[in-house]
Amino acid sequence: MAVEGKVEQIKTEFSESMEFIAGLCSTSIAMGDVLAFFDHELEKISAQNFSLRRAIRESYARERTRDQTIETLTTKITKLQRRMDEVSGKP
């Protein structure tokens, strides 16, 4: 009788252990899915970050070009004004 009781206890403990292990496996799979989702989102964010950095660099380049054009035009206008002043006899 004592042996049968011990066998039943072992069966119960084994069954509970198997359920616990199954739960751990499910949790592990779920965590793997979550981590894969995070990896995918991080890749998207990284690509967006790269695109934004490129857009910023292009914007700075356009700004520098604009500033150089303004400077060049200002210089040409100043020279033209001097020539006009010279032709009209102004000092």
54 vs 59: CA distance, rounded Å? 9
Whole-model pTM: value is: 0.57
pLDDT digits (tens, 9 = 90+) for 13-66: 999 999 999 999 899 999 999 999 999 999 999 999 999 999 999 999 999 999
Q: What pLDDT score does 91 carry?
A: 64
Residue 83 has pLDDT above 80, yes or no: yes
Q: What is the pLDDT of residue 66?
A: 97
DSSP-assigned letter for residue 1: -
Spell out the domain ranges in the chain: 1-91
Q: Specify whether the backbone of 90 is left (phi greater than 0), alpha (psi in -120 to 50) or beta.
A: beta
